[in-house]
Amino acid sequence: MHAERRSRLSALERVLRIFTDIRAGEGPTSLALFANVFLILCAYYFIKPLRESWIAVSDIRGLSKMEVKAYSSFGQSLLLAGIVSYYGRLSARWPRRTLITRATLACMACLVVFWMLQPGFILANLPGSGIAFYLWVGMFGVFIVAQFWAFAADLYADERGQRLLPLIGIGATAGAAAGSFLTEQLVRSRWVDSGMLLLLANAPLALSIALTRIADARGPLGTPKHERVRPTAPAAADGHGALVFVLRHRYLFAAALVALLTSWVNTNGENLLFRVVQEGLEQERQAKGITDPAATIGFVRAGTAAFYGDYYFWVNVSALVLQAIVASRLLKYGGFGVIFLMLPTIALVSYSSMAIIPLLWMVRLMKIADNSVDYSINNTARQVLWLPTTAAMKYKAKPVVDSLFVRLGDGCAALTVLVGVQVLHLSTRHFFYVTVALVLLWLVMAAGIVREHRRLVAARSGTAAA
């Protein structure tokens, strides 16, 4: 039987079997989703380093650069509260491919607007534009990606999703690696102005819309079907909004808390890395004798963009290797619990090391290790987490968890900076000690999610058998 199944595989599917257990007929849609998320992440990493460089020159009197970055992250969570509620209502009214198409087009329009507002283009430096861009990119990064994964999880059933989501995840990490590599090369070589990357990002986003529509029309096995609205009507959530839906369901609420803690820990580390990078650039600026304000802004923007382009490149290359070689095998032989608990375990080791040696080389090295696991193995775990849930949960609750609660974690990180800098005057080492304590709480909550996931899978299996 197994040999017969293998004989029906296409040439494409035989190649894809290197990465996961793919079955006959699953190749074309899987490849479309692979390419789709590749393009989305490539576009995001055209934009993400510019976010860091723009916020680096958005000074606010009385605040350090780390505080400006951290407090801007908190603003993202406030904005997302209204946006995800509105998106949840649209998801019940529009077919999924229409919803994704229109949301992506709105993001493309915003990129054109920010291209016109970039420092030195129309205006020298529009006050607040860097902060506005930082807020928007943060929302784009979680929202457009969460939207794709909700679509992928809805398209595949439990067993098929466990086999194919790790393969699709390779597309995500490959796209992130490609985007960060191209950003670094373009900025360093000066082939294009860094601001032009905002317009270039629209090309992969436009192609991603086409691939979404192709995958949705084909279905998992290429069965043609008409576009339809998913059964995510408010009745499925007992008439309450998306946020209330999450808060009243034990599994969803636990998932939301884990997302918050994951974001809180990661953002603490990113804020501290940003702090050390800016301190290093300031020392370099003084050593080079750069005093002109315009030259200083240009130096800081270019230096920050170059550092983060290189940093994201190594994060994403490492993540690509883990996703391609480790993730699907770890899920197959270790199960959901192993892959879901891996990131907090790695984070515990990483942040403990950074607390002991809080220097740039150690922080950079440990953040590369931490983020590469997050973007590969943990990214797969986050999608498998949703496989035993209903369509209503995927489209109504998942965007809330993956966007609002992620940004609430950023808000908690901002509060950590506020209290740590303004009240307790913590050193970098002490900030890392606080983060280690949060990782321990994260591990406890993640273990609870694993137990609840097993219960849901068993319940769905029993229902299907009946």
First to last CA, the chain: 26
Lowest mean pLDDT among 35-49, 72-86, 155-169: 72-86
pLDDT per residue over 384-439, tens digit each?
888 777 777 776 777 778 777 877 887 888 889 888 888 888 888 888 899 999 99
| CA dihedral sign, ordered 35, 40, 41, 42 | positive
Q: Residue 176: CA atoms inside 13 Å, Cβ hemisphere, count?
A: 27
pLDDT per residue over 294-327, tens digit each?
787 777 777 777 777 778 778 878 888 887 788 7
Domain locations along the chain: 25-218+241-461
What is this structure's pTM? 0.64
pLDDT of residue 407: 75
pLDDT of residue 1: 40
Contact yes or no for 340/381 (Cβ under 8 A):
yes
CA 122/CA 188 separation, integer angstroms: 23
pLDDT per residue over 176-200, tens digit each?
888 878 877 776 666 666 667 788 8
Is the pLDDT higher at 457 or at 228? 457
Fold type of domain 25-218+241-461: Growth Hormone; Chain: A; (1.20.1250)
- φ/ψ region of 81 (left if φ > 0, alpha if ψ in -120 to 50, else beta) reads alpha
pLDDT of residue 447: 92
CA 187/CA 190 separation, integer angstroms: 5
- φ/ψ region of 425 (left if φ > 0, alpha if ψ in -120 to 50, else beta) reads left
pLDDT band at 3 (very low <50, low <70, confident <90, very high): very low
The closest alpha carbon to 373, from 410, 400, 342, belongs to 342
pLDDT band at 361 (very low <50, low <70, confident <90, very high): confident
88 by Cβ neighbours in 10 Å (0-12 / 13-18 / 19+) ranks as buried
> Does residue 84 have a pLDDT over 70?
no
Supply 261's token pair.
């803690």
